[in-house]
């Protein structure tokens, strides 16, 4: 019986020394469940897929679709990729969206992940558990299926990776309820050197050159710029740039969780609603935002002297959470508040000194 | 019992025409009753001529003065002096009460009606004015104004910038390429974006007062 006391003491001491299990993301509070460990093979395959996108010559046709409560948008894209030269993408027009084309040169300055360590696969693994789940077939080619799951084990994304080259052939994104919200896949693909026939379209421009270093952000925030480090749900900022378009400086912050990407643009001023093209007004609680749907959703509003623009390739629920997390200005509604504003305005018009 | 009736007063006042006066005088020569009545009338006239002109009562004076105050135009059917304006008419005589309805007290009817009407008009006017003021306030109090100049975010350019940063990320779908629809070709003009902005780096433009080029709120 007396031998149990030192054993118990040793167990307690070990418990205190080892502490709780290390979280995959030390920045999160300890009450959030850790991301389950990822499958090493799956991570390696995703790294291979990232390399193959640059180094494999191919041409094919992809469909891209987005599902939201407001409807479905789909597009067909002809893609040609030459490792030394670049990627040519031709979007086939539909009845509602015009076609277009863009050329991305190889070796161009990529956004990179200046604020985060590692690459995009590392970013994915930080937010999701990645594992291989089986095999499948896309456009006649055999593929390995890799899944990414959230902390609560719900499915977030699925990738079909070509068994021969590792190239990503198909990609699906799911919302928290398990519904497919985004999908893209090759419906036709052939490997080998395509030839760029005809005149190349305009090149995808380099992003704005003026990158903002993390050390500058304190000063920016003191000057009233938001530029949050993170956005819901797991979006981490990986790039900040600024430019000046004549109406004043613009700050562009880029966010990703490895699956979705969101851009936040901030500019000082107040929104001129009448000139917004194709956006519908949406009332969310006490505030009003302006939304345009499509494969990419844009949400615009202004609050406290800043115009916010969110561009998102993300599920609807992610976009709504992002917009809600940013500053808004309450609009007092109701007849009494409106008439009070009206009296103040009329008084200011009549005041010769105002 | 009078053979001559009104002609007695007219004879005394000298208002009969020659022919009628001759016939009347001829009748008086043979009729002692009418001669007596003419004598009474002559005595009453001389008695009245000896009296002072009666002044109008204070009540009548007040009403006459009230007529001179500005007020809403009276409808034609309710003019108090159908025969003309005050001052151009003979002073009120014993025959005046005949012009008013016999069964209604003279001094209460028209002034009460006029003040009721005025009150109604004032009330309607006030209510209308109030409604106009409240309506103007409601219309003017639309969306609350925010500080700063009005601006339109160049969303097409933002889409290109978003594509330029996302394009560098593998494992994303090519949706960003769909930004480049036919209308987006114009964003590739050399004037955009201002690539001459100097990069903000460590020690460049960061002071305690804020970052160069970024306006403080």
Report the residue of B155, B169, B181, B195 to disrupt the A interface, i.e. the one with the largest count of A CBs within 10 Å.
Answer: B169
User: What does the pLDDT read at residue A136?
Assistant: 96
End-to-end CA distance of chain A: 89
Q: Using one digit for the tens of pLDDT, what is the confidence trace for B138-172?
A: 787 766 555 567 888 988 889 888 988 887 677 88
Give chain B's mean pLDDT. 67
Radius of gyration of chain B (CA): 49
Q: What distance, in Å, lies between the first and last C-alpha atoms of chain B? A: 110
How far is A261 from A221, CA to CA, in rounded Å? 23
pLDDT at A88: 84
Substitution target from B136, B142, B164 for chain A, most A beta carbons within 10 A? B164
* pLDDT for residue A235: 92
Give Cβ neighbours of residue A81 (< 8 Å, ≥ 6 apart).
A53, A56, A57, A58, A59, A87, A88, A194
DSSP string across A2-20: TTHHHHHHHHHHHHHHH-S
Contacts of A156 in chain B (CB under 8 A): none
Of B162, B180, B185, the CB nearest to A91: B180
More confident of the two residues A289 and B90: A289
Task: Assess A165–B contact: CB distance below 8 Å, yes or no.
Answer: no
> How would you classify the pairing of strands A249-256 and A261-268?
antiparallel
**Residue A286 confidence (pLDDT):** 83
B180: closest chain A residue by CA: A100
pLDDT, tens digit, 9 for 90 and up, residues A27-36: 555 566 677 7
The pLDDT of residue B111 is: 57
pLDDT(B78) > 60: no
pLDDT tens track for B33-52: 888 898 888 888 888 777 76
Q: Which residue of B has its CA nearest to A260?
A: B172
Q: In the prediction, which pLDDT does B190 show?
A: 29
| Per-residue model confidence (pLDDT) at position B188 | 33
Helices of type H across A203-315: 217-222
Q: How many whole angstroms separate alpha carbon A273 and alpha carbon A101? A: 30
Query: B186, B155, B169, B193: which is closest to A202 by C-alpha?
Result: B186
pLDDT at position B19, please?
Answer: 84
At A218 the pLDDT is 87
Between A14 and B125, name the one with better pLDDT.
B125
Q: What is the mean pLDDT of chain A?
A: 82
Contact B155 A300 (CB under 8 A): yes
Q: Is residue A170 over pLDDT 90?
A: yes
Q: Give A-chain residues touching B146 at CB under 8 angstroms.
A: 270-271, 302-305, 329
Residue positions counted in chain B? 217
CA-to-CA distance for B141 and A217, rounded, in angstroms?
Answer: 38
Is the ipTM of this structure higher than 0.85? no
Q: Are strands A180-191 and A168-174 parallel, antiparallel or unpaired?
A: antiparallel
Q: Would you say residue B72 has pLDDT above 50?
A: yes
User: What pLDDT does residue A195 have?
Assistant: 72
Quote the pLDDT of residue B206: 26
pLDDT, greater one: A286 or A23: A286
Place of tokens 């009330």: B123
Sheet holding A71-82, edge to edge: A100-105, A86-92, A71-82, A58-68, A180-191, A168-174, A155-162, A141-149, A129-138
d(CA A168, CA A165): 9
How far, CA to CA in Å, does A310 sit from each of A182, A213, A300, B47?
18, 21, 6, 109
Give the mean pLDDT of A117-121.
Answer: 72
Q: What is the pLDDT of residues A59-82, one digit of tens each?
A: 999 998 988 887 888 888 888 888
Q: Please report which confidence band the pLDDT of residue B216 belongs to, taking 50, 70 and 90 as the band edges.
A: very low
Locate all alpha helices (DSSP H) within chain A, ordered by sequence.
4-18, 40-55, 120-127, 217-222, 316-325, 335-350
| Residue in the structure block whose two tokens are 């502490």 | A19
Chain-chain contact of B211 with A216 (C-beta, under 8 angstroms): yes
Q: Are A121 and A50 in contact (CB under 8 A)?
A: yes
Residues of chain B contacting A338 with CB distance shorter than 8 Å: 138, 141-142
| Average pLDDT estimate for A107-127 | 66
Mind giving me the DSSP string for B1-49?
A: --SSTTHHHHHHHT-S-HHHHHHHHHHHHH-HHHHHHHHHHHHHHHHHH
Give me the residues of B, 110-169, that contact A with CB < 8 A.
134, 136-155, 157-169
Per-residue pLDDT for A147 more than 50? yes
Query: B189 at the A interface (CB within 8 A)?
Result: no
Q: Residue A249: exposed, middle, or buried by beta-carbon count in 10 A (0-12, 13-18, 19+)?
A: buried
CB pair distance less than 8 Å for A307 and B166: no
Selection from B165, B167, B183 nearest residue B175 by Cα: B167
Task: Determine contact, residues A122/A116, Cβ cutoff 8 Å.
Answer: yes
Query: Which is more confident, A200 or A160?
Result: A160
Longest dimension (CA), chain A: 94
User: From CA B43, how far away is CA B36, in angstroms rounded?
Assistant: 11
Helix/strand number for chain A, H first, E second: 6, 19
Ranges A10-14, A327-331, B119-123: which has the least confidence: A10-14
- Residue A95 to residues A41, A92, A98, A102, A188, Cα–Cα distance (Å): 43, 10, 8, 20, 23
Instruction: Tell me the pLDDT band of A156, cut-offs 50, 70 and 90.
Output: very high
Contact at 8 Å (CB) between B175 and A263? Answer: no
Cβ distance of B178 and A91 shorter than 8 Å? yes
B20: Cβ contacts below 8 Å, ≥ 6 apart:
B7
Which position has the higher pLDDT, A303 or A24? Answer: A303
- B150 beta partners: A270
Tokens at residue A44, please? 């390696």
User: What is residue A166's three-state secondary structure?
Assistant: coil
What is the structure's pLDDT at B194? 29
**Cβ-based contacts under 8 A for chains A and B:** 289
Per-residue CA distances from A336 to B128, B135, B143 (Å): 20, 12, 13
Q: How far is CA A145 from CA A9, A39, A276, B50, in A?
A: 48, 12, 42, 135
- Contact state of A110 with B168 under an 8 Å Cβ cutoff: yes
Per DSSP, A196 falls in state: -
- How many angstroms away from the CA of A267 is the closest CA of chain B? 8
What is the pLDDT, as a whole number, of residue A4?
Answer: 60
């Amino acid at each position: 019986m007396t031998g149990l006391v030192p054993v118990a003491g040793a167990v307690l001491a070990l418990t205190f020394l080892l502490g709780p299990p290390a979280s995959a993301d030390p920045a999160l509070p300890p009450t959030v469940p850790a991301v389950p460990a990822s499958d090493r093979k799956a991570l390696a395959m995703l790294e291979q897929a990232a390399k193959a996108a640059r180094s494999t010559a191919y041409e094919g046709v992809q469909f891209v679709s987005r599902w939201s409560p407001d409807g479905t948008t789909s597009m067909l894209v002809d893609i040609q990729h030459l490792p030394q030269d670049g990627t040519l993408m031709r979007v086939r027009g539909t009845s509602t969206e015009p076609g277009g084309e863009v050329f991305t040169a190889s070796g161009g300055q990529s956004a990179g992940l200046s604020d985060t360590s590692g690459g995009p696969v590392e970013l994915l693994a930080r937010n999701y558990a990645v594992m291989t789940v089986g095999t499948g077939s896309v456009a006649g080619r055999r593929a390995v299926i890799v899944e990414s799951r959230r902390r609560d084990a719900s499915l977030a994304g699925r990738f079909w990776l070509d068994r021969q080259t590792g190239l990503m052939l198909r990609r699906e994104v799911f919302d928290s309820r398990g519904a497919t919200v985004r999908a893209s896949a090759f419906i036709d693909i052939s490997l080998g050197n395509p030839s760029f026939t005809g005149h190349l379209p305009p090149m995808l421009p380099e992003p704005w050159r003026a990158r903002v270093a993390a050390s500058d952000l304190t000063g920016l925030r003191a000057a009233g710029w938001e530029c949050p480090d993170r956005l819901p749900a797991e979006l981490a900022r990986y790039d900040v740039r600024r430019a000046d378009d004549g109406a004043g400086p613009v700050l562009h912050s880029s966010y990703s969780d490895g699956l979705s990407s969101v851009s936040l643009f901030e500019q000082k001023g107040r929104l001129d609603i009448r000139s917004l093209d194709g956006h519908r007004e949406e009332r969310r609680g006490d505030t009003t935002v302006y939304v345009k749907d499509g494969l990419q959703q844009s949400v615009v509003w202004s609050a406290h002297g800043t115009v916010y623009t969110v561009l998102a390739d993300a599920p609807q629920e992610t976009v709504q959470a992002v917009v809600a997390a940013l500053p808004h200005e309450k609009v007092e509604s109701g007849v009494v508040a409106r008439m009070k504003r009206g009296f103040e305005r009329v008084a200011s018009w009549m005041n010769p000194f105002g | 019992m009078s053979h001559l009736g009104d002609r007695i007063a007219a004879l005394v006042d000298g208002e009969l025409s020659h022919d009628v006066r001759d016939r009347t005088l001829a009748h008086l020569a043979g009729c002692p009753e009418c001669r007596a009545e003419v004598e009474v009338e002559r005595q009453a006239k001389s008695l009245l001529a000896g009296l002072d002109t009666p002044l109008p009562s204070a009540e009548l004076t007040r009403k006459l003065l009230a007529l001179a105050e500005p007020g809403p135009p009276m409808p034609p059917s309710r003019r108090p002096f159908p025969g003309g304006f005050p001052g151009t008419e003979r002073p009120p005589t014993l025959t005046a009460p005949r012009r008013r309805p016999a069964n209604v007290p003279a001094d209460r009817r028209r002034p009460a009606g006029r003040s009721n009407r005025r009150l109604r008009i004032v009330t309607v006017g006030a209510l209308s004015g109030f409604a106009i003021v409240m309506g103007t306030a409601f219309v003017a109090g639309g969306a609350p104004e925010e500080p700063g100049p009005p601006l339109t975010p160049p969303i097409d350019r933002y889409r290109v910038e978003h594509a330029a940063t996302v394009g560098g990320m593998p494992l994303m779908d090519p949706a960003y390429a769909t930004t480049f629809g036919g209308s987006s070709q114009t964003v590739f003009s050399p004037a955009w974006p201002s690539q001459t902005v100097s990069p903000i780096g460590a020690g460049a433009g960061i002071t305690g007062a804020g970052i160069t080029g970024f306006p403080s709120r």
